[in-house]
Amino acid sequence: MDPAPEGETTVTETTHTQTDYAAVNNGQLWYETAGTGHPLILLHGGLVDSGLWDPQFPVFAQRYQTIRYDLRGHGRSSDAGPAPYSHIEDLHALLGVLETPQAHILGLSRSGAIVVDSALAHPEIVTALLPVAAGLSGFEYTVEPEIEQRFVDEEAALERGSVDEAVEISLQVWTDGVQRTPEQVDPAVRERVRQMTTALYTRGDPPAPIRVDRPAAARLGEIQIPTLVIVGDQDLLKVREVADALAAGIPGARKAVIPNSAHHLNLEQPEEFNRIVLDFLAEQP
Q: Which residue has the higher pLDDT, 285 or 249?
A: 249
User: Given pLDDT bands bounded at 50, 70 and 90, which one contains residue 207?
Assistant: confident
Read off the pLDDT of each residue in 162-168 and give the average, rounded to a whole number. Answer: 98
DSSP code, position 218: G
Instruction: Give the H or E element holding residue 192.
Output: helix 187-203
Question: CB under 8 Å to 162, separation ≥6 — which residues?
Answer: none
Please report the DSSP string for 142-184 in residue order: ---HHHHHHHHHHHHHHHTT-HHHHHHHHIIIIII-SS--GGG
To the nearest whole number, what is the mean pLDDT of the chain?
93
The tens digit of pLDDT for each residue in 96-127 reads: 999 999 999 999 999 999 999 999 999 999 99
What whole-number distance in Å separates Cα of residue 267 and Cα of residue 262? 10
Mean pLDDT of the 235-242 span:
96
Q: What type of residue is 211?
A: R
Residues 5-18 have pLDDT tens digits of 444 433 344 468 99
Bridge partners of 258, per DSSP, are 232
Please tell me the predicted confidence (pLDDT) of residue 15: 60
Q: What is the pLDDT of residues 16-65, one digit of tens each?
A: 899 999 999 989 999 999 999 999 999 999 999 999 999 999 999 999 99
User: 56: which residues sit within 8 A by CB, 6+ positions away?
Assistant: 42, 66, 266, 270, 273, 274, 277
Polymer length in residues for the chain: 285
Residue 3, pLDDT score: 40
Domains and CATH numbers, the chain: 9-141+207-282 (3.40.50.1820), 145-203 (no CATH)
Helix (H) / strand (E) containing 32: strand 27-34
**Percent of the chain having pLDDT more than 90?**
85
Give the pLDDT confidence score for residue 204 in this predicted structure: 82
CA atoms within 13 A on the CB side of 106: 27
Q: If you count DSSP H runs as helices and E runs as strands, how many of each does the chain have, helices first? A: 9, 9
Report residue 143's pLDDT band, with 50, 70 and 90 as the boundaries. Answer: confident
pTM: 0.93
Q: Which amino acid is at 159?
A: E
Amino acid at 80: A
Looking at per-residue pLDDT, the higher value among 141 and 248 belongs to: 248
Map 79-136 to HEC letters: CCCCCCCCHHHHHHHHHHHCCCCCEEEEEECHHHHHHHHHHHHCHHHEEEEEEECCCC
Do residues 63 and 37 touch, judged by C-beta distance below 8 A? yes
pLDDT band at 81 (very low <50, low <70, confident <90, very high): confident
Find out whether 31 and 12 touch, Cβ atoms under 8 Å.
no
